[in-house]
Structure 1
Amino acid sequence: MNLENLLNKPLWQMTGEEFMFLSKSATTNSNLQPTAVVVDATSPKYVYGLSGIAQLFGCSIPTANRIKKSDKIDKAIKQIGRKIIVDAELALELAGRKTGGRR
């Protein structure tokens, strides 16, 4: 079976054998290493709200809420009422996900 052909084939048209082959090849080819976030000049300085935290860390909004409540990134968060402003670079640094330096 050709992996490239299967990737272009709609799921509903696959046989069970093709689906299992695709599933097995996806798990054996996947890279399970966590990815580091590189902060550069094009990255936003601030993100806003839980959706901003979710985009910054690449997670869901409930997970972003847990990150915010965990006190790990408290120094990066300014909250006035319901408005949440997060220093993106500092938050990544505090969470240990930053690989780039300040320019």
Structure 2
Amino acid sequence: MERLELKNKPLFQATLGDLIEVFEGVANKEGKDGRGSTNPSSKKRYVRGMKELAEVLHCSVPTAQRIKSSGVLDAAISQSGKTIIVDVDLALDLLRLSNKKWGRKYSK
């Protein structure tokens, strides 16, 4: 159906096919702007608090606290009083680049 016909049609008269066509056009327009990445994980993820950080790192809360206190994640952490906000992607990259083996007492 023509776009002009869709604009002139009242919403209550639109069929399901008309709505799907409109939403597909919107989705295609967002992907073709040339600025955005096609990677769906390009949006930043943040967690708040030590418990959520521990869940992301798949470790216990005391281990997450030791990692945070060591200074490895300082670039990824914003802290105001007791509240911390962590940029997850940056924190995982920083941990990947550090050579410490967290949570292992003995090296083999």
- TM-score, normalising length: structure 1: 0.51
Cα distance 1:74–1:41, how it changes in 2: closer, same or farther (>3 A)? same
AA of the residue aligned to 1:74: D
State the match for 1:53 in structure 2. Answer: 53
Which is bigger in relative contact order (C-alpha 8 A, separation at least 6)? 1
Instruction: Provide structure 2 residue ranges, at least 5 long, that are not aligned to the other structure.
Output: 1-39, 98-108
Residues matched between the structures, number: 58
* Aligned residues with identical type, % of pairs: 45
Question: How many Å apart are 1:76 and its aligned residue?
Answer: 0.1
Q: Compare the two structures and name the one with the higher helix fraction.
A: 2
Q: SS at the partner of 2:78?
A: strand
Letter in 2 for 1:65: Q
When Rg is computed on C-alpha atoms for both structures, the one with the higher figure is 2
Distance (whole Å) between structure 2 residues aligned to residue 43 and residue 55 of structure 1: 19
CA drift at 1:44: 6.7
C-alpha root-mean-square deviation of aligned residues, in Å? 2.1
Instruction: State the SS of the aligned residue for 2:41.
Output: coil
Normalised by the length of structure 2, the TM-score is 0.49
- Provide structure 1 residue ranges, at least 5 long, that are not aligned to the other structure: 1-39, 98-103
Secondary structure of 1:59's aligned partner = coil
Partner in structure 2 of residue 87 of structure 1: 87
